Amino acid sequence: MQTILILGAAVRQNGPSPTLRRRTAHAATLWHAQPDAQIIVCGGLGAYPPTEAAAMRDLLVAGGVSDGAITLEDKSTNTLENIRNGARLAAFDAVIIVTDGYHARRALMVARHFGLNARADCPEPAGWHIKQRLREVIAILGYKVKLAAKRQVE
């Protein structure tokens, strides 16, 4: 059995963001190819309700995914928390992380920090995402420092 871990993205005032919809639709496709997989949806409450996890669950169910295959992790607010909290709910140490391509490197770095055997499976990009790619350069450096500090404390 496989565990599919979907990383959160914004819920806006008018509903799930395009990023959240894209990640969720991609995970639904993965699940339909392997319907015995467990799906963990990650993401807490942002600026607008519902939680990212609840919004993803609703999208998955509307896409034909069995509600029983979905586990909610609805407390996390960032990538590190998504993966740490999601890993605690995973049935297996091997997971497929669903996120956007520009975000996959950082997500895998965090997953490996928590001892997960992880690979990323990303939806087709919706555009160039220059802002997100630049943000990731800074975020990866920050996460390297943050994870190194956590290792020293652990």
Residue 151: predicted pLDDT: 64
Residue 70 — pLDDT band, cuts 50, 70, 90?
A: very high
Three-state SS string across the chain, please? Answer: CCEEEECCCCEECCEECHHHHHHHHHHHHHHHHCCCCEEEEECCCCCCCCCHHHHHHHHHHHCCCCHHHEEEECCCCCHHHHHHHHHHHCCCCEEEEECCHHHHHHHHHHHHHCCCEEEECCCCCCCCCHHHHHHHHHHHHHHHHHHHHHHHHC
Each residue's pLDDT tens digit, 23-51? 999 999 999 999 999 999 999 999 999 99
Domains plus CATH for the chain?
Answer: 3-153 (3.40.50.620)
* pLDDT for the residue numbered 148: 76
State residue 92's pLDDT score.
79
Whether residue 149 has pLDDT greater than 90: no
Whole-structure pTM value = 0.85
What pLDDT, in 10s, does the model give residues 102-118?
Answer: 899 999 999 999 999 99
Over range 124-139, report the average pLDDT.
70
For residue 85, pLDDT beyond 90: yes
